[in-house]
Amino acid sequence: MNLLSVLGVLSSAIFSGTSLLYVTLGETIHQRSGIVNLGLEGIMLVSAAAGFAVTSISGNPYLGIFIAMIVGGIMNMIFGFLIVVRRANQLASGLALMFFGFGLSALIGKPYVGTRINALPRFSMPGLSNLPLLYTSLFKFDILIILVIPVAFLIWWLLFRTRWGLGLRAVGENANTAFASGRNPFLIRFQALFLGGMLAGLGAAHLSIAYTMNWTEYMTAGKGFIAVALVIFSKWHPLRAIVGALLFSGAVAFQLLLQSSGVQVSPFLLDTIPYILTLLVLIAWGGTRKQAAPAGLGRIYQSVE
């Protein structure tokens, strides 16, 4: 494996890992408030389809990104109505939202299959101008890639350095205790869902508008479920999620490199490498999961008023 191949894997990991990291950050907020959202896959698909459609119609990728974020937040409001207001089971509601997203995204995206769009512009990284073009072209990043690490630090600051974050984590640990201290668990969970939905929409927008620059059905390929696993891997911490997203995306890029190199292994087997890695990580970290998971994760809050 030469230097160009290694840099190619790194570049691919950064590109594909960006959308995954945004979604993982959103799910971290959900779970810190005590909510497990298995509907992320559907939310991502609808957001990606809506953002791509708006970009195609308007020619403005930034407007498409904004719409994708809003759509992600609205989709999560539907989820919030089910689990917060109607007190439905979180897992069943998440799966229902996922299947709803499959159908709705196919409906929205059908007219735009094969459509070309004005994608987000990419910028060369400082200090790479003296390298050959073959190398510098691998590290031209769009604005969402540039911002993803600062956003991760912002989410960390919100969760662990603000009163709002303290209240959100308190609700995730014990909603009744949080209510007794003067906080509104219903409001806080809706806020967490809307913010997390916007981040999921942002990740989906990067996938369709900046990375692949096209729309195909089921293009998320399980990223929503991988994000849930990465939250566990990161022990519900936004900064550790950066490592998890790069690790999984690097595994995806590596298996693609193996396939393109003509390795005499079934491509179907190679496709399983990232998911096997995810399972191994969960097995290795599973023993300490309860030490980090919010105590009220998955529990329905019953108002004591």
Q: What is the structure's pLDDT at 198?
A: 98
CATH number of 3-115+144-291: 1.10.3470
What was the pLDDT predicted at 133? 58
Look at residue 8 in the predicted model and tell me its pLDDT.
74
Per-residue pLDDT of the chain (305 residues; tens, 9 = 90+): 566 667 777 888 888 899 999 999 999 999 999 999 999 999 999 999 999 999 999 999 999 999 999 999 999 999 999 999 999 999 999 999 999 999 999 999 999 998 889 888 888 776 665 666 556 666 788 999 999 999 999 999 999 999 999 999 999 999 999 999 999 999 999 999 999 999 999 999 999 999 989 999 999 988 999 899 899 888 899 999 999 898 888 887 777 777 667 666 676 776 777 677 777 776 776 555 555 788 888 888 776 55
pLDDT on residue 276: 79
- The pLDDT, as a whole number, for residue 304 is 54
Is the pTM of the predicted complex or chain greater than 0.85? yes
Residue by residue, DSSP assigns the chain as --HHHHHHHHHHHHHHHHHHHHHHHHHHHHHHTT---TTHHHHHHHHHHHHHHHHHHHS-HHHHHHHHHHHHHHHHHHHHIIIIIS---HHHHHHHHHHHHHHHHHHHHGGGTT----PPP-EEPTT-TTS-HHHHGGGEE-HHHHHHHHHHHHHHHHHHHSHHHHHHHHHHH-HHHHHHTT--HHHHHHHHHHHHHHHHHHHHHIIIIIIS-S--TTTTTTHHHHHHHHHHHTTT-HHHHHHHHHHHHHHHHHHHHHHHTT-SS-HHHHHTHHHHHHHHHHHHHGGGGGGTS-TTTTPPPPP--
Given this model, what pLDDT does residue 141 score?
A: 87
